[in-house]
Amino acid sequence: MDDIHFEQINRIDAQDKACGTTQYMSDLSFPGMLYAWFVRSKYPHALVRSIDVSRAMALDGVVTVLTAADVTGFNGFGIVDPDMPVICGDKVRYMGDTVALVAATTERIAEQAAALVDVDYEVLPVVDDPVEALKPDAPKVHDKGNVCLHTLITKGDVEQGFREADVVIEHEYRTPRQAHTPLETESGVAVPEADGSLSMYAGSQYAFRDQLQLARILGMNPRMIHVTSNPVGGGFGGKDELTIQGGIALLAMKTGKPVKAFLSREESMVSGWKRHPFIVRMRTGFKSDGTMLANDVVCYEDKGAYTSLGGPVLNLALEHASSLYRVPNTRHEGWAVFTNNGVCGAFRGFGVPQVLFALESNIDEAAEKLGLDPVTIRRKNVLHQGEVSPIGHTLRTSVSMDLVLDAIEKSNLWQHREEYKKTDKPWLRRGVALALAPQGAGLGLGIPDYGGAYIDLDRDGNFTLRIGLVEYGQGTHTGFTQMAAGLLRVDPSRVRIVAGQTEGSVDAGPATASRSMYTASNAIAAAFRNLGVKVIDALDAKYHTGLDAVCEAKESGMTTPMGFRTYEELAQEFAQESPLRGEGYFVWPTADREIPGAAGLPHWIYSFAAQAALVEVNTLTGETHLLRVTTALDTGHTVNQQQVEGQIDGGVAQGEGFALFEDTLIAKGQVRTKNFSTYIIPTAQDVPEHEYIILENPEGTSALGVRGIGEVVMVPVIPAVALAIHDATGVWVRQLPATPERVYRLLHPMMDE
């Protein structure tokens, strides 16, 4: 299938989104619809002694008020461990915890009623520092203690490695609590149906898992719950876990009316998932020629109040703590620690940006000490296919570390960096740095990772592609359409897509972990092959043409045992029967052996990118402007160039936000940055000039050679920015975001004296 041609089309959803006609779940309304209000906790950590809803119930227009006792099924949710109550009964653990749910005829009444719910709390001490929280006498967030997960992965003998090292670099790094900030906050409508079933319309990253979690909460057969979660107004990982769905489902089932919730930005910032802040202590040993000998890493992950995906995030971080460099001796240890600092979960990059900021910084510092340039030291250490990773598994699939490194070295920015660094203002300094990243894709070993797709030949000779994976902005549905059209050899306009709903599309796993395009490439290819089989079967049943033929797609049709037939002809041929459906299923390849002590590791398929950044630092104010970024990215096989560039643009902006601006500040459990006047994300004025270098080293396990790129495009830019600040000014940035004041303090350490 190497000759497959992907027609370069505009996004299939571009016009509707640009014109505002796209119906997001938050746009929906239904007759008789009620409005939900989540009564949130008043304290970050407290026992709930009692709740009195009588004043709220008495308000005109209030239809119901629910407390924990009203949860009909299991009162908890969570992808890994369902330890987050839908409604807290006895204890609250963060400011976003729900203590009661209101449904009323208007949003205003619902909000007013929420203020009338009387809760008697017994305030507990706030746990707000993950390192302190590990001490034996620290107050406990959960009865089970504050350790959500502890992982230790070792290979070789780090102490021996350090003894042989000529240079050892050791530092502590800190990373921000980044918010996903999708344009569409958590929202949706739950609709009770006449047959006793429930329809859930809420943008999320995995309708089929939502269905199971909702079934558990409601105590209902999952078949009675229909979830539509597509399209989504932005996700970035923040809608992987359930958000408002449990609450509105309970309210809808209780009242028998459709119930809608649409969180304000402020409520979203307080209650929503965030990126886990990490403290990374990293000690790395090098030989004088730059060869890496040992890496000893301890990560403290601020989990926030509930588990969600905190364990897998920690483990993916530990898997990448020595990147894909040839490090013979490693010790990667991590603690995911419960605190009352909001809740953290999945976020694009999934732990990798946190550790690579530390690692790439240690590498550049070693290079500087050893008089090596940043490319040379990395080239010396990058791994190739067939070698053993720093956590001990053999890399069997394609590895492009050297490919992206070579490309970034040859880039315009890197080659001409001395010219780019010139400035005539006495107070400005410019710097250029680079970094590279692998990003393990897919769900990892031991977690069923599969994808299904159907290709229906419709009666009119066009096609319907059914696949679970949602579109939340990445452009994947355009890519799926191109892949199906390319295989079928039809114009992409002849493929319609039905996705992200438990009725009418097929489970293809979550739209996370850089897995959508890769999964779809295999599921769609399998469905395409199966369609050919179905055609043979159908012709044989009707004309006894035999079963041992293979259909081949040719321009707008297929070769069959009866000669070439256009798709219209085939559709007409079988118009009386049910439409021809190609069913494709695919299971991700995985390693055959788990990394001991580390659930989910290793990952098997990787994304690769290298990025170089040009920054300008104002030494008078500490302001840092990111002027230019070059990305060298391996797509495996580019399906849609425009969408790849779009992912780079967005990824760079999100990486820039992590590096320079974004942090959800929480003091004593209270969020201080509740909206966009204080939670700072880059604007159009802040984003850099881009240069794209798209490389294609096909991933052999994809039928179409593609690999995911959605996450990796935001990763190397983060260390690259921090290291470019060093190149500009000589100071090492160890805590992100590098806000003006932080950079200024590094430049002027004596300021307070």
Partner 1 sequence: MIKELEYHIARDLKGALELAEQFGPRKRFLSGGTDVTVRLKEGLVKEDVIVDLSRVAELRFVREESGVVHVGACATHADLSASPIVRRHGRALAMAASQVGGPQIRNMGTVGGNVANASPAGDTIPALIVLDAVVSIASRSGTREVPIIDFFTGPGRSVLAAEELVTEFHFPATGPGELTGFGKLGSRQAMTISTANVAFTFRIGGDRRIVEARIAFGSVGPTVIRVHKTEQLFCQLPPLLSWDAIRSAAQMAWKEVAPIDDLRATAVYRKEAACGLLAEAAYEALASCWHER
Residue 438 pairs in a beta bridge with 608
CA nearest 360: which of 381, 331, 343?
A: 381
From the CB of 614, what's the least distance to partner 1, in Å? 16
CA nearest 184: which of 259, 228, 235?
A: 235
In the 8-state DSSP scheme, what is residue 660? Answer: I
Q: Is 171 in the site for partner 1 (CB under 8 A)?
A: no
The residue within the footprint of partner 1, chosen from 21, 576, 578, 685 (CB under 8 A), is 685
CA nearest 66: which of 214, 250, 190?
A: 250
CA 204, 210, 215 angle in degrees (round to 5)? 155
Q: Is 111 in the site for partner 1 (CB under 8 A)?
A: yes
- Phi first, then psi: what are they for 465, rounded to 5°? -100, 120
Distance of alpha carbon 485 from the chain centroid: 27
From the CB of 744, what's the least distance to partner 1, in Å? 6
CA nearest 510: which of 87, 207, 59?
A: 207
- CA pair distance 514, 726, nearest whole angstrom: 31
The residue within the footprint of partner 1, chosen from 58, 683, 700, 730 (CB under 8 A), is 683
Angle in degrees, 0-180, between the axes of helices 401-410 and 374-381, rounded to the nearest 10: 160
Binding segment for partner 1 (CB under 8 A), chosen from 359-367, 501-509, 674-682, 697-705, is 674-682
The residue within the footprint of partner 1, chosen from 566, 618, 642, 735 (CB under 8 A), is 618
The contacts of residue 589 (CB under 8 Å, 6+ apart) are 397, 604, 605, 701
Q: Is 423 in the site for partner 1 (CB under 8 A)?
A: no
- CA pair distance 614, 609, nearest whole angstrom: 17
From the CB of 751, what's the least distance to partner 1, in Å? 6
Q: Quick one: 107 or 540, whose CB is closer to partner 1?
A: 107
Runs of H (alpha helix) within 444-602:
476-488, 516-543, 567-573
| Count of residues that interact with partner 1, criterion CB under 8 A | 34
Q: Quick one: 533 or 687, whose CB is closer to partner 1?
A: 687
Q: Is 690 in the site for partner 1 (CB under 8 A)?
A: no
- CA pair distance 226, 221, nearest whole angstrom: 11
Q: Is 427 in the site for partner 1 (CB under 8 A)?
A: yes
Q: Which residue has the tokens 């059209």?
A: 485
The contacts of residue 445 (CB under 8 Å, 6+ apart) are 590, 591, 594, 595, 600, 601, 602, 603, 604
Q: Is 684 in the site for partner 1 (CB under 8 A)?
A: yes
Q: Quick one: 379 or 745, whose CB is closer to partner 1?
A: 745
Q: Is 157 in the site for partner 1 (CB under 8 A)?
A: no
Q: Pattern 536-575, binding to partner 1, x per CB under 8 A?
A: ----------------------------------------
From the CB of 622, what's the least distance to partner 1, in Å? 7
CA nearest 98: which of 239, 252, 247?
A: 247
Binding segment for partner 1 (CB under 8 A), chosen from 152-160, 409-417, 671-679, 700-708, is 671-679
Q: Pattern 719-748, binding to partner 1, x per CB under 8 A?
A: --------------------xxx--xx--x
Q: Quick one: 112 or 512, whose CB is closer to partner 1?
A: 112
Buried b (16+ CB within 10 A) or exposed e, 614-639: bbbbbbeebbbebbbbbbbbbbbbbb
The contacts of residue 361 (CB under 8 Å, 6+ apart) are 171, 173, 719, 722, 723, 732, 733, 734
Residue 684 pairs in a beta bridge with none
From the CB of 117, what's the least distance to partner 1, in Å? 16
CA atoms within 13 A on the CB side of 747: 23
CB-count burial class (<10 Å; 0-12, 13-18, 19+) for 142: middle
CA nearest 315: which of 593, 605, 596?
A: 596
The residue within the footprint of partner 1, chosen from 194, 448, 677, 749 (CB under 8 A), is 677
Q: Quick one: 409 or 656, whose CB is closer to partner 1?
A: 656
The residue within the footprint of partner 1, chosen from 29, 221, 621, 641 (CB under 8 A), is 621
Q: Quick one: 151 or 739, whose CB is closer to partner 1?
A: 739
The residue within the footprint of partner 1, chosen from 286, 311, 661, 738 (CB under 8 A), is 661
* Under 8 Å between Cβ of 134 and 307: no
Q: Quick one: 585 or 744, whose CB is closer to partner 1?
A: 744
From the CB of 527, what's the least distance to partner 1, in Å? 46
Binding segment for partner 1 (CB under 8 A), chosen from 72-80, 175-183, 441-449, 678-686, is 678-686
- CA pair distance 693, 691, nearest whole angstrom: 7
CA nearest 352: which of 314, 302, 308?
A: 314
From the CB of 679, what's the least distance to partner 1, in Å? 10
From the CB of 743, what's the least distance to partner 1, in Å? 10
How big is the chain by its Cα radius of gyration, in Å? 27
Q: Is 108 in the site for partner 1 (CB under 8 A)?
A: yes
Q: Helix count (H) and strand count (E) of the chain?
A: 19, 30
The contacts of residue 715 (CB under 8 Å, 6+ apart) are 349, 352, 353, 356, 437, 439, 609, 655
Q: Quick one: 8 or 683, whose CB is closer to partner 1?
A: 683
- CA pair distance 342, 668, nearest whole angstrom: 11
Q: Quick one: 194 or 684, whose CB is closer to partner 1?
A: 684
- Phi first, then psi: what are they for 8, rounded to 5°? -80, 100
CA nearest 384: which of 374, 376, 394, 370?
A: 394
Binding segment for partner 1 (CB under 8 A), chosen from 135-143, 255-263, 499-507, 615-623, is 615-623
The residue within the footprint of partner 1, chosen from 686, 732, 734, 735 (CB under 8 A), is 686
Binding segment for partner 1 (CB under 8 A), chosen from 67-75, 176-184, 302-310, 619-627, is 619-627
Binding segment for partner 1 (CB under 8 A), chosen from 58-66, 139-147, 159-167, 420-428, is 420-428
Q: Pattern 445-484, binding to partner 1, x per CB under 8 A?
A: ----------------------------------------
Q: Quick one: 9 or 59, whose CB is closer to partner 1?
A: 59
From the CB of 687, what's the least distance to partner 1, in Å? 10
The residue within the footprint of partner 1, chosen from 371, 426, 448, 563 (CB under 8 A), is 426
The residue within the footprint of partner 1, chosen from 219, 493, 678, 700 (CB under 8 A), is 678
Q: Is 668 in the site for partner 1 (CB under 8 A)?
A: no
From the CB of 109, what's the least distance to partner 1, in Å? 10
* Under 8 Å between Cβ of 321 and 299: yes
CA nearest 655: which of 717, 710, 607?
A: 717
Q: Is 623 in the site for partner 1 (CB under 8 A)?
A: yes
Q: Looking only at residues 292 through 351 of this chain, which bind partner 1 when binding is defined by CB under 8 A? A: none
From the CB of 42, what's the least distance to partner 1, in Å? 17
Binding segment for partner 1 (CB under 8 A), chosen from 192-200, 425-433, 440-448, 602-610, is 425-433
Residues in touch with partner 1 (CB under 8 A): 108, 111-112, 425-427, 618-623, 625, 661, 665, 672-673, 676-678, 680, 682-686, 739-741, 744-745, 748, 751-752
